[in-house]
A and B are shown apart, each in its own frame.
Chain A
Amino acid sequence: KQEVTQIPAALSVPEGENLVLNCSFTDSAIYNLQWFRQDPGKGLTSLLLIQSSQREQTSGRLNASLDKSSGRSTLYIAASQPGDSATYLCAVSQGKLIFGQGTELSVKP
């Protein structure tokens, strides 16, 4: 059974810092992996989708990597800003999306 884990559950950093969020999964037979952002009281917003054949995807200050063999993905946020404060969730696709519990990020001014 696929299990998706995100550690840490919460992270607080000062503004301007580069940071990495982690996502691990137990079964490497995935179609793709997505990273989402969730603001309080809101739905999820898709940030990046990495196909299983890809190693990374970039969008602005965000870079997501995927290493299927080790069951790991990272979301790199460059030059963090207070507006980046949110919960970040990863999800792997195996016919359906299986979500991690999320990392709550707080960027302090």
Chain B
Amino acid sequence: NAGVTQTPKFRILKIGQSMTLQCTQDMNHNYMYWYRQDPGMGLKLIYYSVGAGITDKGEVPNGYNVSRSTTEDFPLRLELAAPSQTSVYFCASSYIGLGNSPLHFGNGTRLTVT
């Protein structure tokens, strides 16, 4: 099993550009999450999904969009990149929600917006 795979690993965007961060998992997990991690801070939840076709906002959803058309994939879309979105983005999945089963994380996408 590959687990949770994120692409790309690194990306530099100019202000106002858009991009999609890809995330796929092969563990047949229903729950998937997007977090951002800023230096010296804990992880903040952006969006999450409890299954295909169902998504919901987390703590910091502004400036982002998600979709969940399949169990395996959970892409994160940035429409108009801003410097405040410079961060490391992590996708994660779990078998059940509410933190009641271990989260499996991808290796992250380091995004810089200049």
Contact = CB atoms under 8 A, between A and B. Distances in A.
Nearest to B101: A49
Interface bin, chain B: 20 to 34
Given A43-B4, A99-B42, A100-B42, A91 B99 contact: yes
A41 to B, nearest CB: 7
Given A42-B108, A43-B107, A49 B43 contact: no
Nearest to A42: B107
18 contacts: A32-B99, A34-B103, A36-B103, A41-B107, A42-B107, A43-B105, A44-B43, A44-B103, A46-B102, A51-B100, A91-B42, A96-B48, A96-B59, A96-B99, A97-B99, A97-B103, A99-B43, A99-B44
Interface of A: 4, 9, 31-32, 34, 36, 41-46, 49, 51, 89, 91-93, 95-102
Interface of B: 4, 40-45, 48, 58-59, 90, 92, 98-108
